[in-house]
Amino acid sequence: QWDLEFRRSWDSNVLKLEVIDKYPTHEVVRWVAKFPWPLNSRVYIYSRKAYEDASYLAIISQSVEHEDFPLEESDNVRVVDYTSNMVIVRHNGTLDQPGFDYCLTYADDPKTNFSGSCKKWLAATAVPEFAGKLHDNAKRYEEKWPSERKTNNVGVGMGEHEDGTNE
């Protein structure tokens, strides 16, 4: 949800994932997702904002319009109806202890109709496969990145000023 570089390193369905604008309270992200053949790739332009304290982290994402990326792009389908909200609650209120609980709500309109057999394939194969990749790479993230990379990364540029004060 937050480290775009790491997501690009393991998710083969990410064609592009980049921050296109940064503001004091939020960022605007462009995500181009590969859809299975014969469907065209989907383009998401969304604003994301993080809220963090000692016990929880919340990442709120919502589709937005952007002047540099028109709604119609050749060979891609623009998703204009997208929202994703994730709340992570740390066990024992600290990042130093293993474990957390999370809730992710996600909705979008990919502008396509899936057949019954496609829905069955998504439910039986694609979603469990992605969840497994996500789990495996979450463990790899824990091993790969130093703890300072994982802490206090979210607040910077998202309502927290360089002197540490909030808006």
Q: What is the pTM of this model?
A: 0.75
- For strand 56-63 and strand 41-52, is the pairing parallel, antiparallel, or unpaired? antiparallel
pLDDT higher than 90, residue 88: no
Residue 163 has pLDDT above 50, yes or no: no
If pLDDT is split at 50, 70 and 90, which confidence band does 1 have? low
Taking only the tens place, the pLDDT of each residue in 5-35 is 888 888 888 999 999 999 999 999 999 999 8
Q: What is the pLDDT of residue 45?
A: 96
Torsional sign, CA 38, 106, 123, 17: positive
Q: Give strand ranges (E) for 53-162.
A: 56-63, 76-79, 82-90, 100-108
Per-residue pLDDT of 100-149, as tens digits, reads: 788 889 899 888 877 788 778 778 887 787 777 777 766 766 666 555 44
Number of CB atoms found within 10 A of residue 96's CB: 9
For 54, the token pair is: 């000692």
Average model confidence (pLDDT) across the chain: 78
117: part of which helix (H) or strand (E)? helix 116-121
